[in-house]
Each structure stands twice: as C-alpha cells, then as structure tokens.
C-alpha cells in the first residue's frame, strides 16, 4: 500500500501528494447548504469558523484580530512582529508597502531591517490587552526560541490561546551549548490551550501531540511567494502531511484512551477549494494568511509576508501581491472586505473570496453536515 | 485493477482521468466517412446528431433552438433563464455583453443582477410555443428546486423533452424542514422523456437511472472559464465519470432486464476530439454549450456563461470569451455560423469547428460505423 | 508487463509514451564519432543517411529533391501536390506564403483552394523525369485513393521508390459501394520497392508488412502545427507506436523466415535528439518534413504544411513557421542551408540543425557504431 | 523494486528521477545551524565547503580561483580554455560578452571562434603558478584527449588536484586507429588526487572508480541553457544518476575492502536546495558553475558557458544569462559578490544566493550534522 518508488539503485523515496493533486467527487447524497455546520470547538472555545488567521503582520493587527473574531475565526497576533517591536508600526508598514511597490529586492531589505528592532515585552502585553478590550478572543504566536521569555507576559495580559510556532519545529531540538525549550514541561505549566507547529510528518506530529498541545499546526505555511523548495530543497506535500498527521492523531487518541488533538493545516491554501481539501485529508481547521492579505483592512495593503520573508540571512519567500493580477491603475476601493473574503457574498469566481461559504457549499454538495464528518469524503487524484 | 493510491497513512484516493489524458489510437481497420452514421435515438426522437445544446442563455434562444433543430441536434432552453424572466431579454443580453467587454468583475455583477428577476410562468409557455411554431423539437431545462412549479406549464405548452438539471444533483437530496423533489414520483407522472443530472459517479448515476429517466447527464458542465475546482475543490475527471456511469448503465440494464438509459456527457469538451473521446468512454451523446457560443447567431455574441456564473453569492465560473484569442479589431463577420461549428466545412484547424464532421471522421479512421460501436474503440493514456 | 490503467469501472486504457518522455542514457562504453556509420540500405538503394524527406510541397520540390539526394537522403515528392497540379507552382506558393505572413485563417483558405485544382498525370511524369535528369534517386508519394490512377505513370517515368501514404491507412479499408485499393495485389505487380503507411499500432503494421511492402511508415506525421488530437481525438504516442511496429517486424521476420521490413518513423521529430530516440525505439530510418522547412532552399520559405493542412472540410494542422521565434525584421539570409540542417556544421544549439551529425554523435557517446545496433540503446523515462 | 515501464511491446525503459522531482521532508529531530558542519575532505585536502567550481571560463579565472579558495571551495581552471589559449584573454571575453548582449546566434559563433586558437602549454603552467602564488589550492581540468599532452606541465607547475573531464566519458573509449587514454595507467603514475568524469550510470561510475580516481564527477553539467536533450536525445536524470553512482561507490568500497571514492555531482543545480538534494541522493560534494556566473567577479560578467557551448560543429548549449530576469537598465552594481552567492547573507529569496548557508540550514532542519550523514535524509517524490 505504501507508495514508494526507486530513485536509483538502493535509494527510495515516498510518493507525496499536494492538495492541488486532489479533487473532491460528490457521491450519491446531497444536502442543503443551510443544514451544514462549519463550527469548530478548540478546547473551551467555540468558533463559528474552523479558522486560525496566520501570525503575519501583513494580515493580523489588533484591529483586524477584532474583525476576524466577529466573523467567527481566531486571529493569531505575531508576538515577535512589528506590533510588539514598534509602538507605532504604521510608518514601518508604510515603508514596506512603498518599497514593495518599487523593487522586490529592495523591499526584502527594508523588511529585514524592520524586523531587526528588538521585541518589547510591554508591547506584547499592550497588544493583547488592546484586543481583549474589544471583547474579542486573543491568540498570540511566540517562537520556540523566545517562548520562555515572553509567555508569562502574554499570560498575565490574559491571552486565550498560545501558539508556539516556527516554520519547522520538532519536539526534539538538538542545540550544542544551549538548553532548547522543553515543550512538554512548558505546556504542563500553562492552563490555556497551546497550539504548536509546524510539522510535516507522522513522527513529529505524534511527538508534538505528546507534549500536551491542544492543537498541532501541520505544514510550513507555504504561500504563492514561497521559495523554500528552491532555497532549502524542503517541501511538504500538504495532502500527505495532513493525512499522516491524522494517522498520528488516531494513534495518539488510542494511546491516551481519548485525547483528541486538533490538526490545523497551514500552507498551500489560497481558495475555498484548498481549505475543503485540507479538511478532506483530515484537518480540523485551517490556518490562512495570504488569502486575507487581499482584504481592504489588511495592514499589508495587499502585500503578504511572513517570518520566512524577513529572515536576516536567508529569506525563503518573496513579498507577495495578494490582490490578483496587478493593475497599477486599480483604485484601492476594489479590494474586498475581510467579510467578503471569509463569508461573501462575492461576484468574484476566483475561489479566493467567500472561502467559508465555499467550504459550506462543498460539504453540502458532497452530502456532509459537519467538518469532522467531511474528513471522510472521497478523493480523486488526477491521472 | 481499481487504481487506488495512498495519499498518506491510512488515506487513499482513486485515480481519475480527464478526457485530455486520453487519445484514440486507430487500429487495423479503416472506413469511408460516408459509411459512418452519427445518428442518435432518444426515446421516440431520432436526431441526426448525438447532441443536446446546453441550457445556457448565451447559446440557446428560441431562434437558435430552431437552427440547431434543423442541423440535427436538440437545443435545451433554460426554463429559468433570461428568456423566461424577461419579455424582452435583448437589452439585458446587451448589457451583459457590454460589461463583459469592459471588466470581468463588473460583468459578473451585471449577470448576477440580471438573474435576480423572477421567472414568469407565462413566458415559459410562450417560449416553448415559439419554438414549436417553427416545427422544431423543444426541450426545456428546469432546476430540481423549481421543477414542480414550472413542469405543468411546460407540458401544457407541448414541450418534447424535459431536462431536470442542477450542476450537481443526487437522487437523495437531504434538506431540513423542506421536502425535496422526489424524482421517481415526478417522472412517473410524465409521459415525455426526462433527462436528469448532472452527476459524476457510479452510485449517483445508478440512482438517477432508477428514477425512470430516459437519460442521465454525466458531468457538471465545466468549460474553460470554470473555477469549480478552485472554489469548491470539486472536480469530476470526465473520462472516469463517463466510464463509471456506463458501468451503472450496464448494471441497470441487467437489473431491469433491458432498460437502456442514455448517457449525455457534459463538460470539458471544446473540440470534436473531446466529443469523440467522451463517446469512446461510453457516452451516447454530448451536451455542448461553450463551443456554440462562438457562433455568429449566439445570443452571447461570443461570450459564454451558464448558471454557475450567475450564482448570487458564490459564482464558480468567469464569463468566457469563446471566439479564440481576442482581437479588439476583429470584425463581427469573422464569427462562424452555427452550421460551420457543428457540420463544417471549415478552414479553421483548432478543432472547435465542424465538431460532428470531426466525430464522423474519427469514427471512420478507427473503423467504426455507429456511435454505439464507437464506445468500444481503444484508448491510450499519455505516459 | 503490459502497462494498462483503469480509466473507470470496466474501462481500461493502455499507457503510451511520446519520444519526449524518453531520454538516452550513455552506458559504460564510448566511441569516436568518426567510427560511426549512419548509412541505410533500403532494398537495392544504399543511402548515406537514414532519411526520407516527407512528401510536403513546403520542402520537396524537384530542386530540393536533388539537393537532398546529394546530401545522402531520399526526398519524396508529393505526387498529388502543387508540382503535379500546376505547371508553374511558384506563383501559387508565393500566394500561400504571402497569406501566411498576414492571417493564419486566410492562409488556410488559400491553401485549401490551391489544392482544389486537379492533378495532371503528365506533370507527375515530368517532375519525376526532371529529378532523374540530375542523376538523383526519385521517390514519389501517392494516396491510397489515387495510387491505381497514377502509379503506372510514375513507373513509366522511372521512379525508384513508390510511397503509398495517407495520414492513417490500414490494410483493410472498408468502403460501401466502391472497391478500395488492395495493397497486396497492387504491390505484387510492381518491381520497385514500395513504402506504405502511416500506421500507429502493431496489428496495422503487421498487416501492412504482409502486403509485401519494403517499408512501413510509422506515425501520422505530427508536427508542431498539428491539431489532430484536438480535431479528432486521435494521437499516436510515437515511442510506443515505433516499439509496437518493431515487434511486428520481428514477428513478421519469423513468420516469413527472414523478410525484413524497414520502419520509417514519421512525426513528432524536430531535432536530432528526436531522430535518435525514434531509432532507439526501433526505427530503421526517419521521415522528416518540418525540420527541413526552415532551410533557405525550402519552397515554403520557412512555412511548413502537409496534406492535413489543405483538407477541404476539416484541416487538422495550422500552417507552421519553422524558423524559430519569428522576427519580422530577420533578413532572409539568416535561414540555414539544407546542408547545415542535415549535416552541419552549425552554431545553433537548438537541436534543429546538423540533425544527422547529432545522430552520429549520440550513437558515439552511447557506444554504438551502426543504426541497427543503436536500436538496442537503453532508455529512461522521466519520473 | 526496479522501476521499469513498458514503452511498447518488448521494449522497456527505466524510470529516472530529476532533482526537481524530489523534496526533502524534515523528520522528528531538528538542530541548530551552528552545530552543522559542511566541511569536505578530498584526499589530503580539507575544504570548508563541499564545492568544486566547474571549469568554465565564465566563472573560473586565476583571480576568482583565489576568491573561491578563501571562501572554502576548490575552483577548477579549464586547462584548455581561454586562459591557456590567450596571454591576454580579457579582450576575448569582452568580445563574447558584447556579442551575447546583442544576438545569441552571433555570440555562439564568436565563442566558437575564440576557442579555435591553440592551447599554449606555457600558459597552462603560468596560470597554475599564478594561483599558487596567492597561497590558494589549485585544480586544473584537462580533456581525456589532451590529458597526456598537458598533464606533466600541470604537475610540474605544482597543481594540487587534476580533473580529467569530458561531458560524457567512459573508462572504455573505442576509437579506430588511435590509442585512447588509458585512465588506469595514467592515474597510477600521478601522486596527486585525480577526479574523473562525467558519467551518468552505475557501470561507468564503477569502471571509473577502478581507474584509481579519488573522485568521480556524476552528471554532464546541464545548466539552464543546455540543449543536450534536444540535440542528442541524451539526458541524465541527476537524482537517479547520483543514487546509482552511490551504489557503485558502495560496491567498490566492498570490492576494495575500504577505498572510498568521492562523488561530485555536476549539473541541474542552480540553488541551495538543488545542492542539498544532490547530497541527499548520495553526492559527497557538488560541482557548480552557472550559479557563480551571476557574481560580480565572474569573468563572464553575468553570462555562463561551458565547453558544450563552444563546440565547433554541434554546440549543445546556449550562452546563458545568469543574473535572473534581464533588465537592460540594471546597474552592474546589482550583481552579488561571490561571497554572497556562496555564503550570504542575502536578501534575495530565489535560492541562488547563500547556497551553502542554505545547505547548512537544510541539514539543521532535517536534524543532520555532517554531509555524509545527510546522505540518509528521507526523500519525497511529488505525486
């Protein structure tokens, strides 16, 4: 059954599948869209949408976090981003956008320099409190390297969900001369749900589940500007990664006699169809970044970037323009609202608008009424 | 034999094939084109061509329905389209075409608004009578949702064939608080042939056959502007869908001791070669829309759309220009007639002209003399 | 071993391979190019190159036939082309070239009209005599439909090799009310070698061998402007077709106790590498048309067409520009000579120049010294 | 296990994989980049980077050889290139660059003519001494045809490593009337390490190992301008070739009771990810040419060529512009330094900068700390 090919004499590789390789094929039953629920329960939090918004400064600001909360999702603020490095990040954002409009290599340098400023703990607290003040749920992302430094500040400020996320992390980081974060010990001390990742294989997913995390991020957040494959040779075929992590979830459920860890798929999703396919492979929710960068409210004003863009020595993405084919004369008013991007209605047929209306409709046409059930839908691979 | 791959641990997908993946390979016998028949017998109706024209307002008007009838095919008027919503649909069509020439997003909104007007039952009757008045055969399409409302009107007006068609339908629609159409009961009451669809798998095809339908539409009508894959993640690889439905036809023939239900392939066909391959996979006839939109007589004046374009909240296609590479200076006279599109002769080598001359010639070169026999031609998949 | 896939329930297709899917991989021995022979013996004729030039009016005129003979190949004049329809074909060629420069659809009509004039038997004789007069070998192509009409004329004029060729032919043509050509009877009466084709499968190849032909053309002459796949759905994956025909050659050799029929591959070859791969699959020689259309001496002045372009009702190719990326300002002098195209030297690295120098070098690097041996070289398929 | 497909009846081909077909998937352990070593020990030479720079005049001059040495790699000067044909190669280089800017076919002729001048033995000695004078390690490439002529000169001048390299070589060259180089005898007489190649299969690799070489070059140096596939039909899928050669290394290690021959992968590598994947397939080091042509110091000023470009009769590559999308107005200052290309830091996310920082990081993310260990990393093939 395991799909293994011989690369050369004595060297094998496993076949992996991207979401793009798959399609959903409706079967004998259909449903009305109104009878379908896309709600998601993460620990004590019930969300109308199975959505975490990726911790990218291009999409999540204290303001947009509040909007996303009202629309039913959970926005993750980057605890080590511009909002916690600068008291007034707006001029910094303006410089990035301005540079992006002119020259992509210059823009990469501007963005690298912007992230060279130190994170200020008091701003971590202030941003969380700012979001909480609106009544919205708060989630903040910290890197494994700095989790110990900033976690208490975040907790004291009342954060609801903590996300410990690096592009690629493991439960077994080896570093000479420096004690790495012990996720298990760390999580045991917290009494809020922790989501950890990203990862791309069964073993890492299983080990991350054993740390006590409430959720595991599957995938490295690949977006249309990503070049991780070119730079490092690393790429995780998302359909395979999600299915493998779902197998880990099943085995961990068995080994613990009932602890269910949520899988949050992150990467290679730009449309509603992509999100539907991630769930079909076994995800409980999706983490989206780039698709929201198109929104009028997005701080990046149409540009998307994440921590792989701002790396000081070896960036692994380009700043990416998320509002479709660029037209210099297009008026700003043409950008859709976050509400249109997530819930519609829309007249745009690209698949990048009304993402969760599309998910609901895909579930209905395939005859499923909940996200969990939809993980069983049949898949086809193009020949 | 079943071609199944492992996507990830414990998750499989079936391999599916598109018409584009296939080619026909002539074998040891050839025939003269003149000795080949492409005729189609649907219930009491004998048609010179195995052709239904898709219920798109961009191609089927009362006028073009008459032309198609003369050329040997059966045009299906959309019973819930512009001709039954507006007494004078011409200005509405003109607005759509005008918007399409300018901006595709604006055009999508114009089309959405055009279809917001209510269907007028008296126009359903009037359009059918208008076509009948020319001596042509009439076919009208109703959605499963409104079939009960308008069917009697259509029957009273003397329609010859009824087409109950949604993009994706099933014989088992589940809707809370509302009784869905029971196709079996509905069809039993009618004494004209009913064609139902679309569907994309063996089970649904078999269940639709059991409703008593004379024909089943296989496929969701994908055309070059379709984005269903992007929007919903749903896509039916047509070659696989047709072959599966043909297996259902065979099994139903056996289970009923001889009832033969016709398969009408719909989607992913833009050339004569595509139509030939659909029949090679097992179809009895093809439903074409987009290829006819190029014709000079087409109401869409070169633009194609179908109900997936005009959806009020979640369109799943873009308006599509069907006359090849756009050239603003191309005179209208350059558009081929419906007659050239369907029967030639033509000097255009694109495959989109003389579609049924091409089918006839493909059959001749492969040595077959009827559509039914041609379902046995050998297929090759590119490596 | 047979590579068969399931398209859908109960419907299978064989996997076929194009020359493009393959690469040659040199193995442990190499040779000097000077020690390699690419000579070809067809019946009594020894040729320096394993080359027939396709019967296209765009490349073979009485003049170029003579040049090709000097370079070592065998040019096939189209016995039913412009040279046998017009006493002075030059103005007709000029009209085609002029139209091609302006509008491709108009050019298709011009070409169609040009071929509507009747073939004049006395011109068939005159053209053959014109070529013979230079001391060159002569070959002429006739269609199966008109072979009986013109063959005697050609024989009387002293033709050396007769080519009976339609795009797709069989040894078993069925036509109501008209006796088709019986190839076996026909060939038995002739005492010059006859080459017949094209075909694309084992059965047809075997049956054509049994007609007594000296050679069989494998392939339908696909060139970069071909649209047979789009128009008819028919396409022959050349690598598979050649390998199958080579199996027929082997079986026929056994069944006759030693009669060796030559395989002439025709189609999908634009470079020296393509020709090398065709031989690697089992061909004894290649029939090239389009690559020679780039030559300065070519009657088509850079444009290529064959009989599939000029079909009166259903053309299956576009006129194709063969001199690489078009540059309106490129001076005519830039076109290579036939000598550079076939034998080099060249400074052009596209693969379309010095085609047989490339074949020789490919054989040398793989360690083979004759065309027949080179049929055993190992192949790789890209993963 | 061997992955063999049937091309046609009785004809098979092995499936081969390109580096592009593969991705690395990190597994359960990660490491800090600082704990990773990318050092390479070739015989007595310890290099900080597993890097040989390809013997292309476009990248290796006596000056850049020194720079590469300081950065940790080993540059191979072409012993039969411009530096040994001309006392002052600068004007020749200038002519090539100037022609390249204008017309690619003219440039190919200029380059061909430039390499028609004879190699001057005294210049071979002088260039080696020039590099040695800076304290840098020296390596020089000679062709198998001229190795005997120039080797003593190079040895007398104090070269550290000799590279005997043709595009495709074998240990068993057959040439009528001329005794080819016997590599085994030749190498036995030298007391410096010799690297030989290129080759693309198990047998040739094994035979080359048996000549006593310290290293074997795997691959034919394909770069983005290469057309060997088009010209000759020959192409070596690098992943398969490296894995096969690694099997030969293993078998040779066993047969000799411990002689380890280094594999130097050459071809199809333009980014750090490509280099990482070559090592993952079994290479000990990489030979890079084209990626370094982008550097400001490169003699080709952004253009890349190798001996396949300058062939007098049958070139198998085009001159290739290596600084990304061409912009006529781009100031020369925009070119990165060799230091940025090899070691970073960089703001460029294309993967073509900081190649060895990327390798180090890929190893760290996959949990490996040495190049040799990294040969065991798991591979995935896209579905």
- Phi and psi at residue B324, in whole multiples of 5°? 75, -170
Residues with Cβ within 8 Å of B150's Cβ and at least 6 positions away in sequence, in order, are B79, B80, B119, B121, B124, B142
Determine the pLDDT at residue B176: 73
Q: Which residue has the higher pLDDT, C29 or B356?
A: B356
Tokens (6 digits) for B369? 């003399």
What are chain B's partners, defined as 3 or more CB pairs within 8 angstroms? A, C, D
What is the tens place of the pLDDT at every residue in B193-215? Answer: 999 999 999 999 999 999 999 99
Tell me the C-alpha distance between B280 and B25, whole Å. Answer: 11
Cα end-to-end distance, chain D, whole Å: 18
Q: What is the pLDDT of residue B180?
A: 81
- Beta-carbon separation of D5 and C361 below 8 A: no
Task: Say whether pLDDT at A228 is over 50.
Answer: yes
The answer on pLDDT for D334 being more than 90 is no
Contact C137, C160 (CB under 8 A): yes
Residue found by looking up tokens 């926005």 in the block: A75
C259 to chain B, closest Cα gap in Å: 21
Instruction: Specify the pLDDT at position A170.
Output: 85
- Min Cα distance D375 → chain A (Å) is 10
Q: Give the CA radius of gyration of chain B.
A: 20
Predicted local distance difference test score (pLDDT) of residue D2: 61
A9 CA: distance to closest CA in chain C (Å)? 14
Chain A closest-CA separation from residue C383 CA (Å): 9
Place of tokens 């006759």: C256
Please answer whether residues A28 and B170 qualify as being in contact, where contact means their C-beta atoms are separated by less than 8 angstroms: yes
User: Burial letters for D252-261: b for 16+ Cβ neighbours within 10 Å, e otherwise?
Assistant: beeeeeeeeb
Beta-strand relationship, B303-304 and B320-321: antiparallel
Query: Is C84 domain-assigned?
Result: no
Place of tokens 């969900």: A161
Percentage of residues of chain D with pLDDT beyond 70: 97
D366: left (phi over 0), alpha (psi -120 to 50) or beta: alpha
Q: Determine the distance in angstroms separating the CA of A347 from the nearest CA of chain D, rounded to an integer.
A: 34
Of B6, B203, B236, the CB nearest to A2: B6
* pLDDT tens digits, B284-328: 999 999 999 999 999 999 999 999 999 999 999 999 999 986 554
Of B227-241, B318-332, D311-325, least confident by mean pLDDT is B318-332
For residue C93, being part of any structural domain is answered with no
| Residue pairs between chains B and D whose CB atoms are closer than 8 Å | 4
Percent of chain A residues topping a pLDDT of 70:
97
> Is residue A64 domain-resident?
yes
Task: Reply yes or no on whether the pLDDT at A1 is more than 50.
Answer: no
D5 touches chain B (CB under 8 A): yes
Question: pLDDT band for position C1 (50/70/90)?
Answer: very low
Task: Give yes or no for residue A327 having a pLDDT over 60.
Answer: no
Contact B383 C17 (CB under 8 A): yes
Q: Which of D24, D30, D244 lies at the smallest CB-CB distance from A169? A: D30
Q: What kind and span of H or E run contains A185?
A: helix A183-188
What is the predicted pLDDT for the residue at C329?
Answer: 52
Model pLDDT, residue C2: 61
The partner residue sitting opposite C169, judged by closest CB among B24, B30, B244, is: B30
By C-alpha distance, the chain C residue nearest B364 is: C174
Q: How far is CA D266 from the centre of its chain?
A: 4
pLDDT at position A177? 73
Q: How does residue A325 score in pLDDT terms, banded at 50, 70 and 90? A: low
CB contact under 8 A, B32 and C174: yes
Q: State the average pLDDT for chain B.
A: 94
Confidence (pLDDT) at A382 = 85
Is a pLDDT exceeding 80 seen at residue A352? yes
Three-class secondary structure of residue C196 per DSSP = strand
User: Would you call B227 helix, strand, or coil by DSSP?
Assistant: coil
CA dist., res. B354 & res. C227, Å (int): 14
Q: Which among B246, B281, B361 has CB closest to C314?
A: B361
- Tens of pLDDT, residues C28-52: 889 988 899 999 999 999 999 999 9
- Residue A201: name the closest of C355, C17, B260, D30 by CA: D30
What pLDDT score was predicted for residue B181?
A: 86
Share of chain C above pLDDT 90, in %: 88
Q: Reply yes or no on whether the pLDDT at D179 is more than 90.
A: no
Among B109-113, B319-323, D173-177, the minimum mean pLDDT is found in D173-177
Are A233 and D24 inside 8 Å of each other by CB?
A: yes
Average pLDDT, chain D: 94
Q: Is the pLDDT of residue B160 over 60?
A: yes
| Helix D121-132 vs helix D147-156: crossing angle, to nearest 10 | 40
Q: Tell me, what's the pLDDT at B326?
A: 54
The C-alpha atoms of residue A380 and residue B105 are separated, in whole angstroms, by 31
- The reported pLDDT for the residue numbered B1 is 43
> Is D326 part of any domain?
yes
D238: domain range? 28-377
CA nearest neighbour of C133 among C121, C141, C125: C125
Pair B192, B155: CB distance under 8 Å: yes
In a domain, C233, yes or no: yes
Contact C243 D11 (CB under 8 A): yes
Torsion angle defined by CA atoms of residues D280, D283, D289 and D291, in that order, rounded to the nearest 10 degrees: 10
pLDDT number for residue B194: 98
Chains that touch C (3 or more CB pairs under 8 A): A, B, D
Q: Which of A201, A231, A318 sits opposite D25 (nearest CB)?
A: A201
Work out the mean pLDDT of chain C and round it to a whole number.
94
**Coil, helix or strand for D377?**
coil
Cβ contacts of C164 on chain B, cutoff 8 Å: none
> How far does D6 lie from chain B, in Å, by closest CA?
10
Domain count within chain B: 1
User: Per the domain annotation, does C105 fall within a domain?
Assistant: no
A9 within domain boundaries: no
Q: Which of A13, A27, A29, A30 to mutate to test the interface with B (most CBs of B within 10 A)?
A: A30
Q: How confident is the model at residue A173 (pLDDT cuts 50, 70, 90)?
A: confident
Mean pLDDT of the C270-297 span = 98
Which single residue is written with the structure tokens 């798959």?
A22
CA dist., res. A51 & res. A287, Å (int):
6
- Gap between the Cα atoms of D287 and D76, Å rounded: 9
The CATH code of the domain that includes C45 is: 3.20.20.70
């Amino acid at each position: 059954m395991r799909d293994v090919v011989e690369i050369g004499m004595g060297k094998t590789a496993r076949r992996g599948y991207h979401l793009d390789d798959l399609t959903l094929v409706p079967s004998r039953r259909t449903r009305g869209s109104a009878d379908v629920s896309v709600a998601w329960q993460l620990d004590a939090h019930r969300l109308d949408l199975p959505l975490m918004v990726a911790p990218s400064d291009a999409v999540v600001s204290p303001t947009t976090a509040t909007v996303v909360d009202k629309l039913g999702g959970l926005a993750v603020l980057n605890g080590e981003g511009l909002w916690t490095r600068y008291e007034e990040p707006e001029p910094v954002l303006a410089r990035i956008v301005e540079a992006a409009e002119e020259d992509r290599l210059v823009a990469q340098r501007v963005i690298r320099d912007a992230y060279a400023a130190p994170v200020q703990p008091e701003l971590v607290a202030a941003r969380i409190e700012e979001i909480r003040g609106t009544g919205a749920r708060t989630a903040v992302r910290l890197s494994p390297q700095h989790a110990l430094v900033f976690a208490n500040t975040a907790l004291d400020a009342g954060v609801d969900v903590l996300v410990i996320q690096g592009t690629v992390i493991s439960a077994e980081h080896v570093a000479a001369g420096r004690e790495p974060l012990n996720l298990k010990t760390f999580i045991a001390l917290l009494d809020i749900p922790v989501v950890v990742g990203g990862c791309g294989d069964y073993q890492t997913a299983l080990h991350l589940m054993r740390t006590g995390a409430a959720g595991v991020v599957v995938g490295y957040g690949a977006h249309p500007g990503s070049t991780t494959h070119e730079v490092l040779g690393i790429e995780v075929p998302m359909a395979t990664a999600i299915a493998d992590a779902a197998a880990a979830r099943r085995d961990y459920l068995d080994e613990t006699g009932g602890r269910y860890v949520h899988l949050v798929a992150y990467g290679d999703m730009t449309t509603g169809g992509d999100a539907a396919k991630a769930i079909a492979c076994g995800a409980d929710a999706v983490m989206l970044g780039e698709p929201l960068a198109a929104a009028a409210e997005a701080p990046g004003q149409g540009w998307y970037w994440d921590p792989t863009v701002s790396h000081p020595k070896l960036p692994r993405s380009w700043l990416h323009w998320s509002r479709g084919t660029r037209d210099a004369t297009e008026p700003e008013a043409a950008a859709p609202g976050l509400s249109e991007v997530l819930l519609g209605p829309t007249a745009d047929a690209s698949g990048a608008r009304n993402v969760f209306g599309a998910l609901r409709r895909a579930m209905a046409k395939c005859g499923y009424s909940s996200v969990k059930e939809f993980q069983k839908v049949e898949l086809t691979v193009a020949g």
